[in-house]
Amino acid sequence: MNAGLVTFDYLVFKKLPMNRNLAFALYFAILVALLYLSKFVKVSLLESETSYDYKMSTSEKPIINADSKSNIPELSSKEFIKADGTLFKKNNKSHYIIGANYWQAMNLGAPENGNRTRVLKDLETLKKYGVNYVRIIAGSEGPDGEPYRMHPALMNSPGDYNENVFQGLDWFLAQLSQFNMTAIMTLSNYWHWSGGFAQYVNWADPSKPIPYPVPGDYLSFELYAARFYSDSSIYSKTQSYYLAHIKSIITRKNTITGQIYKNDPNIFAWELANEPQAIRVENDSHDIIFKWIDDTAKFIKELDKNHLVSTGAEGKNGEEWFITMHKSPHIDFTSAHIWVENWGYYNSDNPSLENYQKAETFMLSFIQNVSDWSTQINKPLLVGEYGMARDAWSGESKYSPLATVINRTKYFTSLANKVFELEKQKACTGHVFWAFAGIARPSDPPPTWIGDPPHEPPGWYSIYDSDEKTLNVFSEHAKQVAELN
């Protein structure tokens, strides 16, 4: 290549009767273009060398070549999704969500210490099974030494971003175009596994350490995290740090595509936070959280008119709560999460049919209720999380990838059928399962980034690429909704 440049230099300066300034300009333009191209050549060589370093069965061919394609800026030409009554519309057609929680995305996408080959493989698997949405974390808080957390964090301290992780988010969003997928972006977290509200509280008032919860005792932690919106002595700080973060995300220019996030159709919606809780707000001051939802959603809408906004809530506190949380004019759709084991409706160690049926009955009733409430306020409903442990009675620990998933598959099938029944009545828009581990396993060298966040027993709710029976539930549902338009 250098030899080529010498020749070019010679031609321009010695042989051609050309204006000297013009020749210089041409020279530099071509030099820059060559350097630019050489960058792609290098990257693609580098990536193809390291592409398939994970174990792959010999019969399996690489589906995606992690080549320079993933580095070429690609602007999405998709349409933004709109809310229309209780439905989502894309190009004026009803649009349904079959989603996977893949909260690890930005860390796995990072140029340094990420695992892009894995991401491409995982997205390919999800696409194969009809998944068209991923719900991901778009905000995690440091410092990195804290326990039970995703790290490195996106934001080390207020306004101080880890550019490597941010570029991981850029890269991940850029990949979605080739998979025809769209992202739900969760901006913060009530729980501690991404830093979240407790960290914002600690930034605003470092005098008290975060009381990390121990299993069975979440109360002190929840009261601490809820100070994020309930403690008037620090609220101006916590909220301004958080709004500044939201602004940084929404106005971020993607380093791969050049697109500002607020203009990116690969993004579908913003969720204020993962599972904001209010039941334990001190003095039961519920109006505080409702006002927080309204103010924050309004702030987002003023910055970004393209994307939809929801709460990220579970919807577990009954009708009045659900409706009040979601009736703000700045909230476009409603959110529900269903956790039968965590909420005491399922015991994964109990082999009785009765035990399973209790969980299924609760889930069906819960979904019917949130659907009714969402219809009352004429907004689309999205079931943003649900999961079930593997069969603990199968002779393996429920955390082991070797345990069977008979009950889980049955439960997921029942949930998808319920959602489909409601979709036909325009009373639900889809579901997002928890959580995709793809090719990763709990036994992989850390950080494994399986589907279970760092504070939970590894393997509890992870869905692996090998869980074909469970994944088939999504392809079946994808076929069903394809008939709906």
Ligand X SMILES: *[C@@H]1O[C@H](CO)[C@@H](O)[C@H](O)[C@H]1NC(C)=O
Name the residues that contact ligand X, by CB under 6 A.
53-54, 92, 115, 118, 132, 180, 230-231, 282-283, 351, 353, 356, 362, 365-366, 369, 391, 393, 406-407, 410, 439-440, 444, 448
Q: Closer CB to ligand X, residue 109 or residue 139?
A: 109
**Chain centroid offset of residue 189 CA:** 12
Q: How far is the CB of 348 from ligand X (least distance, A)?
A: 9
Type and span of the H or E element at 1: none
Q: Closer CB to ligand X, residue 65 or residue 369?
A: 369
CB 331 within 8 A of CB 379: yes
Q: Closer CB to ligand X, residue 299 or residue 461?
A: 461
Helix-strand-coil split of the chain, %, nearest 5:
45, 15, 40
Q: How far is the CB of 282 from ligand X (least distance, A)?
A: 4
Q: How far is the CB of 185 from ligand X (least distance, A)?
A: 18
Q: How far is the CB of 373 from ligand X (least distance, A)?
A: 9
CA gap 89, 204 in Å, rounded: 41
CA-closest candidate to residue 96, choices 386, 428, 378: 428
DSSP labels, 143-190 = -TTSTT--SS-SEEETTEE-HHHHHHHHHHHHHHHHHT-EEEEE--BS
Q: How far is the CB of 248 from ligand X (least distance, A)?
A: 28
Q: Closer CB to ligand X, residue 111 or residue 143?
A: 111
CA-closest candidate to residue 129, choices 483, 480, 482, 478: 478
Type and span of the H or E element at 471: helix 468-482
CB 335 within 8 A of CB 428: no
Residues 6+ apart with CB under 8 A from 213: 192, 220, 221, 222
CB 474 within 8 A of CB 98: yes
Q: How far is the CB of 258 from ligand X (least distance, A)?
A: 23
Q: How far is the CB of 119 from ligand X (least distance, A)?
A: 9
CB 363 within 8 A of CB 338: yes
